[in-house]
Amino acid sequence: MLLPAHFYFGDETGTPGTILTFFPFPQASRGSRGSGEATIIGFSIPRDSIDFWIERLSRNNITFDGPDQKFNHHFLSFSDPDGMQIELVEDDVVHLPGWEIKDLPREHSIRKFFGTTIQLNNSKPSEKLLIDLFGFRLQASEKNIKRFISGEGDQQARFDIHTDSGAQRAIQSAGSIHHIAWRTENDTSQVDWSEKLGAHGYHTTPVIDRTYFRSIYFREPGGVLFEIATDTPGFMIDEEEDKLGETLKLPPMYESRRDDIESRLIPIRHKNTMVTA
């Protein structure tokens, strides 16, 4: 039996707003970007870091486009091995600490998500959701892209909608962005969101316990899957900070099968090192 797995990447403590989750399905075919799907993930890097990342990407033989500029922010664009599009965007995130590892100095490291881009055939209903329910405001438009923002300073969220009336429907598989997760403080505020969405005609799933957070899901008008996840309890409920992410964590119902599950894990290769995760 194939068990769904979450492969989390984030900062040292798994801070909400830094977590990117992969679902490893080795035999999956390549997906196809299109309407009804998130198409770009943007990460914030500090100002004056573009040259560092150009050199780093080049040294690791990663093909990239740019530097370019969008909504007055300089960025680099490239695809991961499965075709997921990523942008590294210069941003004023001076109050957020970076994570220093080996040849990646703290002053140039990724801080958090910068924002996400979704592609839609018709953006109007989705814009209404963002503005009326989520509290976003339209910042600017460039060609067929609208940028919406919420919050201030280091906590500002950006959400871009790329409208293309002729785009084909996206086909989700390897390289696809499955969903976008929005933060909410705790279980109480999550219930409030579920009720608020229900009052506006959106059907949310029951609460799903992900151990480190709890989630509800719904589809926005253009078909993109949205998750609303709690900040609590966080990733350090079962590991110390200096050991975070070093061992496989299983739901209690599968703990008795640990030896069998670990024996079936796929080896993960990182450059010249092979580990089992």
In a domain, 67, yes or no: yes
Give this prediction's pTM. 0.92
Q: Is residue 185 included in any domain, yes or no? A: no
Residue found under tokens 């924002």: 115
| Helix H or strand E encompassing 207 | none
How many domains is the chain built from?
1
pLDDT value, residue 167: 96
CATH classification at residue 54? 3.10.180.10
Q: Which portions of the chain are predicted below pLDDT 70?
A: 1-4, 94, 270-277
pLDDT of residue 275: 42
* Residue 242 belongs to some domain of the structure: no
**H helix count then E strand count, the chain:** 4, 16
At 277 the pLDDT is 40
Looking at the domain assignment, is residue 258 inside a domain?
no
Helix (H) / strand (E) containing 219: strand 214-219
pLDDT 10s digits, 116-127? 999 999 999 999
Do the domain assignments include residue 157? yes
Q: What is the pLDDT of residue 171?
A: 95
181 within some domain: no
Quote the pLDDT of residue 2. Answer: 52
| Amino acid type, 15 | T
Residue 66 has a CB neighbour count (10 Å cut-off) of 17
Residue-level pLDDT at 95 = 74
Domain extent at residue 99 = 32-174
Q: Dihedral, CA atoms, 223, 149, 14, 33, nearest 10 degrees?
A: 30
Whether 213 maps to a domain, the answer reads no
Phi, psi angles (nearest 5°) of residue 256:
-65, -15
Structure tokens at 164: 């293309």
Helix (H) or strand (E) holding 260: helix 258-263
Q: Tell me, what's the pLDDT at 166?
A: 97
Is 65 part of a structural domain of the chain?
A: yes
